[in-house]
Each structure stands twice: as structure tokens, then as C-alpha cells.
Amino acid sequence: MTTSSAAPARAPHATDLDRLSIDTIRTLSMDAVEAAKSGHPGTPMALAPVAFTVWKDFLRYDPTNPAWPNRDRFVLSCGHASMLLYSLIHLAGIRRGGTNDAARDLPAVSIDEIKKFRQLDSVCAGHPEHHMTAGIETTTGPLGQGCGNSVGMAIASKWLAAHYNQPGHQLFDYDTYVLCSDGDLMEGVAAEAASIAGHLKLANLCWIYDDNSITIEGETHLAFTENVAQRFEALGWRVERVADANDTAALKKALHAFKAEQEKPTLVVVKSVIGYGAPKKAGSHEAHGAPLGPDEIKGAKEAYGWPADAQFLVPAEVPEHFAKTFAARGKQAHESWQKSVADYSKSHPVFAAELTDFFDGRLPAGWDKTIPCFPADAKGLASRVSSGKVLQALSAGVPWFIGGSADLAPSTMTLVAGAGDFEPGSYGGRNMHFGIREHGMAAACNGMALSGLRPYCATFFVFFDYLKPSLRLSAIGNLGVIYILTHDSIGLGEDGPTHQPIEQLASARAVPGLSVFRPADANEVAETYRVVMQRPDRPAVLVLSRQNLPTLDRSQFGAVSGVAKGAYILKDAPNGKPACILIGTGSELQLCIDAAAKLAEAGVHARVVSMPSWDLFAEQDAAYRESVLPAAITARVACEAACGFGWEKWIGLRGKFIGMNSFGASGPAPALYKHFGITVDAIADAAQSLLK
């Protein structure tokens, strides 16, 4: 631990205004954390010269228009250093933007908001949240996620350029810069993302690695002794090294090397000292996750040559310096881009019309006209197969609908014919090949969604847990990523319990802001896509079967448009007054239909309800919910080849659930359904017992 109180060395080759700006970032970060009595001051203090250099000399960004589509992206993957980002947003003069004329020109982060750091209703949350504050490109906090998101942003830039750029019209060429920490690079999601980026040769991506040798438990050698630079070189990255985070000249040289690189993503390894300038805690893990305290702050400010008792001080020269460098460069670039777009509209009107919809976040006219309507068929289709057919149709109607699977396209039916592959040197294709990297795949899709694309990704439902942290951030960040998750139950059969999802439905349904669908036939699949495509601010999980599901004859059953309400009456009692209600999803809905027929033979009239989406049904008004599930009818049976956790919300404490209460087994699907008691007879018997 460093204990010297000597003034720290100044940033070599930095101007006086640069040094003043860097120290302003540091002191704002210290003061905000101290005021909140909570937060992480050490990393903002150490990385202030790095972030400042990126913003002042490289980042192409118009602070008056934070949503400019061709802006460079800056991602703070080490989200615990959030005060670094809030300080930059404030000093750079980023405006709120948006469509609200009264608010668009207000500062995104005012000094008053910084004073309320980590307090309820402040735009300066403990970790950055992009939907709350302009200037934040993505919601970070869980380490490694920002790294994963950045790969999706770099993919989006490459795809947009390949699809829309024309000779003389460079509409898309933005770069993505990331600040990441030891913790980020220890996380598996960052390793997956780095592997994807290296394979794809995303030369528009730069990760700046804060190699400070400190984590919360202490020095990194406790658990982390690998050679990071060599690992990234092996992954196909260019590696630059900067021996001192305060050496802005060396940082510029490394970043110019990134700008010149055409074949590889770049990792800049920067050595820093956490809590730089604090007299006692510099170089200590203590500076990582707690306020410095008044004495430490006073000592650090004295070391910077700062008024020791000043709090939240912003010298007037600092915003002016940002305005003359960062803002002026961004404004000029934005104005040049706007002129290019105007000229493009005249020379390429078809693409320009597409881009108008894209920029406005609007689906193209007639986007859903090609969605198929499937004829009644007793044999039917596996819902993964009907999903593939709908996916193919949607791809024709939505140019920026792009995605793929974690090496399972033949099984998840996500390969779109004629759409081409997104691969190194061929960035215009729309079929992504993520490899067996579920977590990195989902994190990259979040980055693609943040860039305006409409991404989907796919794997087997049992691997939901491999991508869950990224999916959770889709929900927190209101990102309309579509998760296509197939092989949804014991219907998978012979692969056995390791591949048969049992608890995953309950886990998915527990995520706030996530729509979960388990459609029961091909037309419910089609209607599910129609619903989720119109909700770009809400992620969706589509849970699909391996085995065939009969395509229902809608002249005999309720209209499939009921999917939009989450649950609907599929088949009612003859007089509309059922004695009991049978509720099913996915492959088990047919069991409920057959059980209702068996009950009818015994003189018992049942209502069959299809409930593909719990969350959408819960959003309906009380009158609609009562019309489907009348409170007076307490004899209710639900059937689903999964655990019953949560079903009591819909069947009540008196109702019965037919499903799984253990892991599955290996064997043919029909034998497994019989073995675990998920049968027509079991449903009918449960209803009869309730009526007795």
C-alpha cells in the first residue's frame, strides 16, 4: 500500500487545461461519493486521464444530439466507476435530447444531480443506466456486460455500413470505446465476447483495460495471474501497452494505432494506481469500494493543487475546454453527416426511406403482411419449425431484423435463407453465428438493440441459465431482444434430464419487464411474433417445442388474436357456464382439449383456456381477466410439462397442477409423459376430484 503524501506526477505532455480538466473529473468523483457515503472513488481518480483523452481527442459525439446514429460509443464496462462517466457527461455539456422540446436542451447531468449521486430519483444512479440518462450508452454494473454489449455495437456499425453505405456516402462508420477492469476481464461473458470480436475482426472496437492489479478482496494475484495481453493476442486482437495511465501522450499514440488498425479489434493495456493522488489509500483495494473520507479527500486535493475545502468545484475553463475540443469536433462531424444524409436521400431514395423508419424506430409499412397463416393440421408442426417459417417471413419485411444462434441454427430453425452470413469481410449478412457462447451472444444482442437493430438469438431452453444475466439486463434496459428458446420440455425425449428444462419457465416468468410466451400451435407462434415485434422496448422469450403440435382448426376454436391478451378462451362449455376450467400452454394445450372432451362424455362441461403469456394476461383489465377466469369457478386444472411454481396465481389454492415435480429422464417423449403422469386421464381425473 502506498502511504506517501507527495504530490502525484502530472500527466506528461498534458496542457494546463488538460490537467485542470482531469483533476476536475477526479474531485467531482471524490466529492459525490463522499456526499453519498457510498460508491467507488478510486477508479474514477485513476482513469480520469484515460477517459478524458478518449473524449477530448478521439470520441466523435455531438453533445447537443446524444442520439445521433453515427456517434462513437463510449462504454464504461466497470460500471462501479460511474462517477467518472457522470463527471464527463456534465463537463462535456451533453444535453438531454429526445423529443420533449421543453427538456431537450437541459443538461443531461447537472451539478445538482451529481450532488444527489446514488440517491432515489437522481439520474446519477449507483451504476449507469442508459434509459435514465443521456450520454450513457448501456446499463452496466455486472462486470463484463459492457464488454459484451460493445461487441454488439461494433457489429451494428459494421452491418449498417455494409448495408447502407454507398460510394461518396459514408453514413455509418462509428467506433466503440470501452473502459474495462480486471473484474470485467475475469468474467466469462467478456471472454466469450472477446472471442466473438476477434473472430469477426471487428477493427472498430477498442477496449481500454485498466490493469491496476486491485479487486475488492485485495491484489489480483490472489486469483488472477494470467497474461491478459497474450490471451487477447491469441484471440486475434491487436494489443497496445501504456505504462502509466497519466501519460496522455502514450495514450494518444495507442489510440491512433487503434484508428489505423483495419483487421483486428484493439486492447489497450493501461497500468494505473487506484485512488491516484489520495495520500493513504492509493494502490489499495480500500479505495475501490468506499468513500475516501474527509482527510483523504483533503490530502488528494492538496496533491492536485486544488482548494482543499472546495466541494463540487467546476472551474469555468473546463467546460469551455470541452466545448472547444470535444463538442466542436462532434458538431462539425454531425453537420457533415446530416449533409451526407440529405444528399443520400436524393441519390438512393429506397435506402433512404428504409433509414427514415430505422432512425425513427418504426417498423416498415406492411412489415407483417408476409406472416403466414397455417392451415388446420392434425399432425401439425413443432413450434420451433413454425417459428422458423415466421422468422423467414419477417426477415423479408424488416431489413434490420438480424440474429442467429449459439451453434444451434439447424435445431432452432433460425437460419434465414438468402439473408447471407455475417462473417469477417462480409458484414452485410443477417445470419449471425455466435458459436457456443450463449452469454456473450445475449450480451452482444443487447448492444445491437442499443444500436437500433432488432436482434434475436437462439439456443435450447435448458441453456436459459447460461444467458440469464444478459437477458435480465435486456429487461432492465427495455431492450426488445427476442430470445428463441427451443426444446422446451421433457418432450425433448432421449437426451434426458440434463437437456430437459423443468424450472426455466418459472425463472423466466419471474423477471420483471420480460414477456414470456409458450405458444401451443403454429398460428399462436405467428401471433406471438406479431405481438413482440410491435414492442421494441420489451424483451421476449419464445419457448418452443421439438415435437410436433397439432395446428388447431380456428373455425372450431377461439380466435388466435387472443394471444395478444396473454390468455383466451379456446373452447367453452356449450352454455358458456363451465363447471371447471382447464388451462394449458404449449404442447400440453392439446391434452387439455382432449381432457375436456373426455369430461364432456361424463357430462362435465369444461372451459379450455390457452395461456401462452402470463405477463400479458396480468396486464389486461380486471373485466377481461374475469371473463376468461371467473372468480366463482374454483375448479381449475393447469397442465404444463414443467414445475408448477407460480401457477397458484391462476388456479388458486384449491386448483390442481399437472406437471413436473422432479427432473426428467431419458426415453421417448410419449413414454416420459406417461411416466410422469402428464396425461389426458390425469387432467380429467383432477377436474373430477375438484368437482366432488
Share of the chain above pLDDT 70, in %: 96
Residues recognised as catalytic: 438
DSSP character at residue 150: H
pTM given for the model: 0.96
Cell digits of residue 347: 441519390
Q: Among residues 239, 380, 277, which one has the least CA distance to residue 44? A: 277
Cell digits of residue 158: 459494421
Q: Using one digit for the tens of pLDDT, what is the confidence trace for 427-485?
A: 999 999 999 999 999 999 999 999 999 999 999 999 999 999 999 999 999 999 999 99
Q: Is the Cβ–Cβ distance between 274 and 211 less than 8 Å?
A: no
3-state secondary structure of 34: helix
Determine the Cα–Cα distance for residues 660 and 503; give it in Å rounded to an integer. Answer: 9
Specify the range with the lowest mean pLDDT, choosing from 12-26, 198-212, 304-318, 444-458.
Answer: 12-26
pLDDT score of 12: 57
Determine the Cα–Cα distance for residues 593 and 583; give it in Å rounded to an integer. Answer: 9
pLDDT score of 428: 96
Confidence of residue 6 (pLDDT cuts 50, 70, 90): very low
DSSP character at residue 381: E
Confidence of residue 288 (pLDDT cuts 50, 70, 90): low
How do strand 636-643 and strand 377-382 relate by DSSP bridges? unpaired
Q: Is the Cβ–Cβ distance between 548 and 603 less than 8 Å?
A: no
| pLDDT exceeds cutoff 80 at 284 | no
Q: Using one digit for the tens of pLDDT, what is the confidence trace for 665-676?
A: 999 999 999 999
| pLDDT exceeds cutoff 50 at 5 | no
| pLDDT exceeds cutoff 90 at 3 | no
What's the mean pLDDT in 612-635? 98
| pLDDT exceeds cutoff 90 at 245 | yes
pLDDT score of 104: 87
Q: Is the Cβ–Cβ distance between 94 and 109 less than 8 Å?
A: yes
Question: What average pLDDT is seen over the chain?
Answer: 94
| pLDDT exceeds cutoff 90 at 9 | no
102-136 residues labelled b (16+ CB within 10 A) or e (exposed)? eeeeebbbeeebbbbbbeeebbbbbbbbbeebbbb
pLDDT score of 649: 97
pLDDT score of 15: 81
Cell 481527442 found at? 57
Cell digits of residue 672: 416420459
Share of the chain above pLDDT 90, in %: 90
Q: Using one digit for the tens of pLDDT, what is the confidence trace for 331-362?
A: 999 999 999 999 999 999 999 999 999 999 99
Most distant CA pair in the chain, distance:
91
Specify the range with the lowest mean pLDDT, choosing from 1-5, 268-272, 297-301.
Answer: 1-5
Q: Using one digit for the tens of pLDDT, what is the confidence trace for 136-164?
A: 999 999 999 999 999 999 999 999 999 99
689 exposure class (CB count in 10 Å sphere: 0-12, 13-18, 19+): exposed
| pLDDT exceeds cutoff 60 at 374 | yes
Contacts of 110 (CB under 8 A, 6+ apart): 90
Domains of the chain: 16-334 (3.40.50.970), 377-550 (3.40.50.970), 563-691 (3.40.50.920)
Determine the Cα–Cα distance for residues 591 and 684; give it in Å rounded to an integer. Answer: 10
Q: Among residues 619, 461, 476, which one has the least CA distance to residue 541? A: 461
| pLDDT exceeds cutoff 80 at 625 | yes
| pLDDT exceeds cutoff 50 at 251 | yes
